[in-house]
Structure 1
Amino acid sequence: MPSVEVTTETVRAEDGATADVRLHRRPGDPSAPVLVCMPAMGTRAAAYAPLADALAGAGFQVAVGELRGQGTSSVRVGRGVRYGYHEMVAYDYPALFRAVEAAFPAAPRHLLGHSLGGQLGALYLSQEPHMASGAVLVGAPSCHYRGWPFPQSLGMLAAFQFAAAFAAVYGYFPGRRIGVLGNDSAQVLRDMATQVRTGRYHVPSSGVDFEPALAKLELPVLAVAVKGDAMAPPGGVRGLADKLTSARVTYWELALGEGAKGSRHYAWIRDSAALVERVRSFVDQA
């Protein structure tokens, strides 16, 4: 029997949208903890294959989901295609976590969310905390502009207000064309720009003000800031962690090796040995 069995399943959300989830099972150890990995904004799930392999090699079971509009998602970003935080938190995350629960019935589940995937995961777990035993938030900041040092903070504020306005006129955000993030719905940019400006997770696409629910979330949380990550600086990562006033939050800064290449916001996906070791300790203590 193989130590790790990799399969792919299609998850269907309540509104009919579908996406694949890649499952790394340990048939000989079905109760091994499962990490539900959710990507950063505009990033395909396939980019996290090296991380999933490293986690599986460390004894975890793994489920790698997909954000709406990316990769295997049936929702294709384009003019007239409208979705925001609401659709992902109310439809996609519940469908994914229920699929993972069915696939790993004997295993405790932990979110491992990167950037926007971690932010949305925290919003989802604030609504359904029983669906996870804990959360690892890597480079997942509150995007409030004050979490960035001055004068980058003002640049962050201006950039996202401009990006949201541009996406509204263009019909969507063509990130791949302009080399920033990835393609995404104009509504996602509007939701993010609102949170950048106000600091609150009460965004235009959703009638829910998530702030009170975040404050009541009691799960253990590992909040990870990657040293040198300009897209998720310590102030931003702490900004999201500070909203979780009832959670047992551990804050940790990850230093990548000198050989790590590319943006620090993504380099940890391949240079993951230190993170995997820290996650192992966190999950064992959760």
Structure 2
Amino acid sequence: MNTAEPEKPTVVDVNLPDSSVTPVEVHQPVGRTAAGAAPLVMLWPGFGMGASYYRPIARELAARGYPVATGELRGQGASTARATRAGRWGYHDLAAEDYPRTIRAVKSHLSLLVDHPTVLLTHSMGGQVGVLFLARDDARELNVRGLFGVGSGSPHLPTFPTPMRRRLRLGTILLGRIGGSLGFWPGKVAGWDPVGYGRQSGQHMAEWRRLALHNTFAELGGADLDYPAAMREVELPVLLTRFANDLDCPRASSTALAEHLPKAGLRIEELAGDLGHNRWARQPQVTADRFERFLVDNDISAVR
């Protein structure tokens, strides 16, 4: 690890088609002659998580010489989007709009070429959107070279043990069925958030419910391609990691997500330690070490 301190991140505003703005934190690399000397690491948060939570791992990777940017899932963290009856979005919107627009904006800010090698570092829901994005032409144009997931799996109910399955089933009722019918999930009901994920788009939650019940990305709202068919053709390296005490992503959940990418060079691996579903982002050493090995194992480099 480079002992030099990374600079404070800069913020790049990404304008989305719904007129919302997503502020993206960009961390300059330490110890490289230029940002272009290493692949861009594009970090995507989990469900209900803001980008600021991931600053420790972003700083760790920047200290190791990588340009790093942390996006927001629409409507979360510092995103200005607000789910309403009229303001809805789903998996397709995130994969087709938020992910490519954010990466393009970051590359422009860092003076990187559009096809500069890029790796997705995803957490939980960020990985679900990430595997959809891999199937799009944008991922090829932006030279996305692989995906490294942490706690990224499918919410498919049969893959979870009984206690967590009950919680997820409650989520499918509140977030998916009720939120989907209302057009949005308000987050707090009488001042209390019974699920803990905040305000969410009803369309996104209805699609998440279908994923939980049937493990399918078929018939996403507004989709401009057959995602299940396109995902079956993805051949990029993908590593889905988890910690043994991650109750929100059992190994079977990762396997269920992996089923969507049968041609990918995909592995599922448990990391050493008890950092659960979230703490790895605040205590980043183990994850950063394995991420760097992933780059080496798959010959992902920006040096040409």
Does TM, normalized by the shorter one, top 0.5? yes
Pair 1:9 & 2:12 matched: yes
Residue of structure 1 in register with 2:301 after alignment:
none
Residue of structure 1 in register with 2:215 after alignment:
199
Please, which runs of 5 or more residues in structure 2 have no aligned partner?
299-304
The count of residues paired between Structure 1 and Structure 2 equals 280
Q: What are the superposed Cα offsets for residues 192-221 of structure 1, whole Å, 9 maximum, x if unpaired?
A: 001111111114424344211111111111
Task: Give the counterpart of 1:28 among 27, 33, 43.
Answer: 33
Give identity over the alignment, percent: 30
Pair 1:243 & 2:264 matched: no
Pair 1:99 & 2:105 matched: yes
Letter in 1 for 2:121: L
Q: Deviation at 1:117? A: 0.8
Residue of structure 2 in register with 1:41 after alignment:
47
In 1: Cα distance, 2:102 partner to 2:254 partner: 25
Pair 1:109 & 2:118 matched: yes
Please, which runs of 5 or more residues in structure 1 have no aligned partner?
none
Residue of structure 1 in register with 2:280 after alignment:
268
Q: What are the superposed Cα offsets for residues 84-115 of structure 1, whole Å, 9 maximum, x if unpaired?
A: 21221221112012223333526521001111
Q: Secondary structure at the match of 1:9?
A: strand
Residue of structure 1 in register with 2:63 after alignment:
57
Q: What are the superposed Cα offsets for residues 44-90 of structure 1, whole Å, 9 maximum, x if unpaired?
A: 11111111111112222101111111122221234542122122122
Q: Secondary structure at the match of 1:82?
A: coil
In 2: Cα distance, 1:35 partner to 1:205 partner: 28
Does 160-169 or 112-121 show the bigger shift? 160-169
Q: Deviation at 1:15? A: 4.4
Query: Is residue 153–residue 254 contact of structure 2 (8 Å, CA) maintained in 1?
Result: yes
In 2: Cα distance, 1:285 partner to 1:76 partner: 41
Letter in 1 for 2:193: I
Alignment CA distance shift 1:276-1:194 (3 Å): same
In 2: Cα distance, 1:34 partner to 1:204 partner: 29
Letter in 1 for 2:256: G
In 2: Cα distance, 1:151 partner to 1:183 partner: 24
Alignment CA distance shift 1:154-1:76 (3 Å): closer
Pair 1:126 & 2:131 matched: no
Q: Secondary structure at the match of 1:137?
A: strand
Query: Is residue 164–residue 247 contact of structure 2 (8 Å, CA) maintained in 1?
Result: no
Query: Is residue 153–residue 253 contact of structure 2 (8 Å, CA) maintained in 1?
Result: yes
Q: Secondary structure at the match of 2:22?
A: strand
Residue of structure 2 in register with 1:136 after alignment:
148
Does 139-148 or 77-86 show the bigger shift? 77-86
Residue of structure 1 in register with 2:269 after alignment:
252
CA RMSD of aligned residues (A): 2.3
Query: Is residue 223–residue 251 contact of structure 1 (8 Å, CA) maintained in 2?
Result: yes
Q: Secondary structure at the match of 1:49?
A: helix
In 1: Cα distance, 2:259 partner to 2:267 partner: 11
Alignment CA distance shift 1:216-1:80 (3 Å): same
Q: Secondary structure at the match of 1:161?
A: helix
Task: Give the counterpart of 2:239 among 210, 215, 222.
Answer: 222
Query: Is residue 88–residue 183 contact of structure 2 (8 Å, CA) maintained in 1?
Result: no
Query: Is residue 39–residue 67 contact of structure 2 (8 Å, CA) maintained in 1?
Result: yes
Does 8-17 or 59-68 show the bigger shift? 8-17
Q: What are the superposed Cα offsets for residues 240-281 of structure 1, whole Å, 9 maximum, x if unpaired?
A: 123211111122112335xx5xxx211111122111000001
Letter in 2 for 1:227: A
In 2: Cα distance, 1:99 partner to 1:72 partner: 17
In 2: Cα distance, 1:230 partner to 1:78 partner: 31
Pair 1:70 & 2:76 matched: yes
